[in-house]
Chain A
Amino acid sequence: MAQYGGLGLFLILVQSAPSFSDTWALFFATHAATLGSWFLLLALALSVYCFAAGWLGLLGRDAASERIGETARRAGIAVFYIVLLAGITLVAAAFQDNFSLTYILHHSNRELPIAYKFAVLWSGQEGSLLFWALLLSAYGFVLRLRHKTDPRLFAHASVIIAAVQVFFLLLVNFAAHPFGITQGALPADGNGLNPLLQYPEMVIHPPMLYLGYVGFTVPFAFGLGALIMRYPGEKWIHITRRWTMVTWAFLTIGIFLGSHWAYNVLGWGGYWSWDPVENASFMPWLTGNAFLHSVMMQEKRGMLKVWNIWLVFSTFLLSILGTFLTRSGIVSSVHAFAQSSIGTWFLAFIVLTLAVCVFAFVKNRDHLKTEHRLESLVSRESSFLFNNLLLLVACFVVLWGTFFPVLSEWIQGNKVTVGGPFFNKVNIPIALLLLLLTAVGPLLSWRKTSTDSIRRNFQWPAIGALVVAILLLIFGVRPWVDSSYFYSLMTISLSALVLFTIASEFIRGGRVISKHTGQNLLVSITQLGRRNTRRYGGYIVHIGVVIVFVGIAGSAFNVDKEMEMSYGDKMQIGSYELICRSYTQEDKPNYGSEWAIMDVFKGGKQIDTLYPERRFYKASQQTATMVANHSTLKEDLYVVYEGLNQDTGRPILKVHVNPLVNWIWIGVIIMILGTIMAMLPNTMPAPARVFARVPAPVTGD
């Protein structure tokens, strides 16, 4: 019978599976709060152990210390599993409509579609902090698994990550507990997810943004670790650069999805409003970007060691500062979470982290000494310095503008608004300088560039850019009429300059390969990219940036019109004619909606039918816009259903014609592809065609 034991057990399990799952579900529903709380406490205890034991392990170099260090590493790995279980517990509670958890009651409801039940995890203060802790533990998990790359450096980084992890787990255990229990009688349904978040992109946008924010902990951990251990050589910077690129790419995707979502959901016709929370994501993006450029100086010339360390520190601190802005409520924002005491925790953490950074730097600054020497002012090195300067000044402008209302209140006693007009006025000239540098920088050689070389490399791109500027003037862009037209003309001309210089770089490199291998130019250019993925991937990123700039430049020519429309009413905007065919109302389980049917004509021909909609979410009692967009490469016809006029019962529609918006999204996709390419390893160079001397045949005797 023994051989049937396994089969018998299997049959029993299959038969009892439904009741088992029911029992488990019941157990889970009644104990979710207890389970989740224990998971969080256990994760905190393990993180504290990982930090303390990891530190102890680093103090000695004997076998015992190594063993302690190994236990710390394993504890760090376990933290990931435990926090993952806590996250699963919370999501499962959302799926089970377990309103005994306050968090689920406030952020979910019974009719919420399944995909959005996952989004419940990051839709509120407590859940999003748990999500942060989860992502941090996931980064730590990968790092600890890859410890053999450089055990001692990775052990230092692991300890620092554990310290950050302790902070976030302290938050979710004691300041913003996601497993709090609902007091009193349970309501029949929850308050529902914020309707603005009930959009497919919103399921991906926050995770991407968080992957970016949280990911900057890893370069920070490597940087601080390398400084503390006085790491010899530049290997740490290679490792850090790769992690920074991954993180920066995630942040780019996150920002892009956020803008795309804002454009399609908020219905104000724009994609970036310089809201403090948008600014918070933009600041670490700018400093991370500066680091990705300046790191080349350290790799190639051993320069800017102090600068790079501080860039890594600043990027991490800015990502925490962003979170502080979002959570503390010190600045008004459409994104801000409920005001709470959590801001104090973040402020304390920022101060503590800064103190640790300053202490480590002061103690080990002699290790970062380098003999900087430049041969010429006109060199790649100088261009990187100016690039960093401009990126950091742009970051300062964002930080300054975001905090100025607070400063003004302290000093003048009254708040002022610092909105889009300020940021656009100050940052656009800086962005144009940056664009100019993007064109010039790659043409400069390391160490020294001769005037002759600049003239040779620059003349054709400059002529091309000039031609573009003249064409724009011919086609009616009048820079003297409005400053926005001037900026638009400058942006597009400088973008052309960048594109031409990049094209000339590809062609020049392709020609050399073609000369040596005999392949045609196009194949040679492709091979060029594979042989130096980092350089040419970087150029692809620049192409993406340029396309984004061109897309933004289009906003100077935006037009909009608002009109109350009835059956058969016509609206003329730009080259479009819109006819209101119908308008109606609909009731669905999760929301009720009002929408219009608009036929779109261009040149007398119908080209599309649009359905702008406005939803009213029942659980949260909030409205949301579903923009109808006829999008082409040239422009977007963007139609917003603003609502019904209560007196006439007719819908009010706002229509925007926004030129070149699609270019922004295409540009960002190219940026991401370029970043991926830059992360790929180089392939071996193709064998060159060599003409060997063949000895003449021996003749005669």
Chain B
Amino acid sequence: MRIFSTSLVNSRKWMQATLLLLASVLFLGVGDDARFQSLGHKLMCVCGCNQILLECNHVGCSYSERMRGELAETVDKGGNDDLMLQVFVQKYGPTVIAAPTTTGFNMVAWIMPFVVLLAGTGLVVWVVRTWKNRPAPAMAMGVQPAQGSDLEKFREQARSETEL
């Protein structure tokens, strides 16, 4: 039993080491600059220009330069991305975040499009199935519609003769 638990601990250590190695390879180069860029694109300039913080290019904009400085400082200090964004929310209000958060009512903003997509897909599938299950219109007397392999043969002939 002890041997088993020791091997389990060892394998766990190996797994952790492998994950750490994998993570360091994957996120190689994702340093402070990348983080600054990533966070800077999640924030808005609050001068009223309606632009993403790192895209505001007003000369003498009284906000963007200061905000960029604050962001660089926050990134230097390190910490969780969400906490860094919260610092800006506390200072400039909720409109400083460029997209709704995933908490409370704001979550609805994210969920609704996918609800509509799913509902729409369901509706289309239902409509197509309903239309498919409708009976074929009655044919004129004596006319036999081609079916099964005959129909496939005609389709194949049309395709090979025209392909259009």
Known A332-B50, A404-B100; contact A421-B105, beta-carbon cutoff 8 A: no
Known A417-B44, A643-B59; contact A382-B94, beta-carbon cutoff 8 A: no
A422 near B99 with CB under 8 A, answer yes
Stretch at the interface among B2-10, B11-19, B76-84, B125-133: B125-133
Instruction: From the candidates B117, B124, B137, B155, name the one contacting A373 in the complex (CB within 8 A).
Output: B137
Q: Is A377 an interface residue (CB 8 A)?
A: yes
Q: Which B residues from 82 to 112 make CB contacts under 8 A with A? A: 93-101, 104-106, 109-110, 112
Provide the residues of chain B in CB contact with A269, threshold 8 Å: 55
Q: Is B116 an interface residue (CB 8 A)?
A: yes
Instruction: From the candidates A382, A397, A416, name the one contacting B113 in the complex (CB within 8 A).
Output: A397
Q: Is B143 an interface residue (CB 8 A)?
A: no
Query: Distance (Å) between the CB of B37 and the closest chain A CB?
Result: 9
Q: Which residue of B lies closest to A643 (CB)?
A: B59
Bitwise, A649-669 to B at CB < 8 A (1) or not (0) is 000001000000000000000
Chain A contact residue count (CB 8 A cutoff): 62
Bitwise, A382-426 to B at CB < 8 A (1) or not (0) is 100110010011001100110010001001101111111110011
Provide the residues of chain A in CB contact with B97, threshold 8 Å: 416-417
Known A268-B56, A625-B57; contact A385-B50, beta-carbon cutoff 8 A: no
Q: Is A333 an interface residue (CB 8 A)?
A: yes
Stretch at the interface among A188-196, A317-325, A342-350, A507-515: A507-515
Instruction: From the candidates A421, A450, A509, name the one contacting B163 in the complex (CB within 8 A).
Output: A509
Q: Which residue of A lies closest to B93 (CB)?
A: A414
Instruction: From the candidates A333, A373, A425, A450, name the one contacting B99 in the complex (CB within 8 A).
Output: A425
Query: Distance (Å) between the CB of B70 and the closest chain A CB?
Result: 16
Q: Is B120 an interface residue (CB 8 A)?
A: yes
A417 near B127 with CB under 8 A, answer no
Q: Is B31 an interface residue (CB 8 A)?
A: no
Provide the residues of chain B in CB contact with A654, threshold 8 Å: 57
Query: Distance (Å) between the CB of B67 and the closest chain A CB?
Result: 14
Query: Distance (Å) between the CB of B124 and the closest chain A CB?
Result: 5
Q: Is B51 an interface residue (CB 8 A)?
A: yes
B113 near A419 with CB under 8 A, answer no
B131 near A393 with CB under 8 A, answer no
Q: Is B26 an interface residue (CB 8 A)?
A: yes
Q: Which residue of B lies closest to A333 (CB)?
A: B50
Provide the residues of chain B in CB contact with A341, threshold 8 Å: none
Known A421-B41, A512-B163, A654-B57; contact A389-B131, beta-carbon cutoff 8 A: no
B99 near A421 with CB under 8 A, answer yes
Q: Which residue of A lies closest to B104 (CB)?
A: A412
Provide the residues of chain A in CB contact with B42, threshold 8 Å: 421
Q: Is A532 an interface residue (CB 8 A)?
A: yes
Query: Distance (Å) between the CB of A280 and the closest chain B CB?
Result: 14
A275 near B50 with CB under 8 A, answer yes
Provide the residues of chain B in CB contact with A334, threshold 8 Å: 49-51
Instruction: From the candidates B56, B120, B152, name the one contacting A393 in the complex (CB within 8 A).
Output: B120
Known A400-B109, A416-B95, A418-B100; contact A268-B55, beta-carbon cutoff 8 A: yes
Q: How far is it, in angstroms, between the C-alpha of A654 and the C-alpha of B57 when the chains are bound? A: 9
Q: How far is it, in angstroms, between the C-alpha of A420 and the C-alpha of B51 when the chains are bound? A: 9
Provide the residues of chain B in CB contact with A426, threshold 8 Å: 110, 113-114
Q: Is A453 an interface residue (CB 8 A)?
A: yes
Q: Which A residues from 117 to 158 make CB contacts under 8 A with B? A: none
Q: How far is it, in angstroms, between the C-alpha of A480 and the C-alpha of B59 when the chains are bound? A: 37
Q: How far is it, in angstroms, between the C-alpha of A190 and the C-alpha of B161 when the chains are bound? A: 70
Q: How far is it, in angstroms, between the C-alpha of A393 and the C-alpha of B121 when the chains are bound? A: 10
Q: How far is it, in angstroms, between the C-alpha of A616 and the C-alpha of B41 when the chains are bound? A: 28
Q: Is A614 an interface residue (CB 8 A)?
A: yes
B94 near A415 with CB under 8 A, answer yes
Provide the residues of chain A in CB contact with B106, threshold 8 Å: 408, 416
Q: How far is it, in angstroms, between the C-alpha of A445 and the C-alpha of B116 when the chains are bound? A: 28
Q: How far is it, in angstroms, between the C-alpha of A375 and the C-alpha of B148 when the chains are bound? A: 12
Q: List 13 additional contacts besides A412-B105, A417-B95; criterion CB under 8 Å.
A: A333-B50, A334-B49, A334-B50, A374-B131, A389-B120, A400-B113, A411-B105, A414-B93, A417-B97, A418-B99, A625-B57, A640-B57, A642-B57
Interface CB pairs A-B, < 8 A, 18: A268-B55, A268-B57, A275-B50, A334-B51, A371-B137, A373-B132, A373-B136, A375-B132, A408-B109, A416-B106, A417-B44, A417-B94, A417-B100, A419-B44, A419-B98, A420-B52, A445-B155, A453-B159
Give chain B's interface residues, CB within 8 Å of chain A: 26-27, 30, 41-42, 44, 48-52, 55-57, 59-60, 93-101, 104-106, 109-110, 112-114, 116-117, 120-121, 123-124, 127-132, 134, 136-137, 152, 155, 159, 161-164
Give chain A's interface residues, CB within 8 Å of chain B: 266-270, 273, 275, 332-334, 371-377, 381-382, 385-386, 389, 392-393, 396-397, 400-401, 404, 408, 411-412, 414-422, 425-426, 430, 445, 448, 450, 453, 480-481, 508-509, 511-512, 532, 614, 623, 625, 640, 642-643, 654
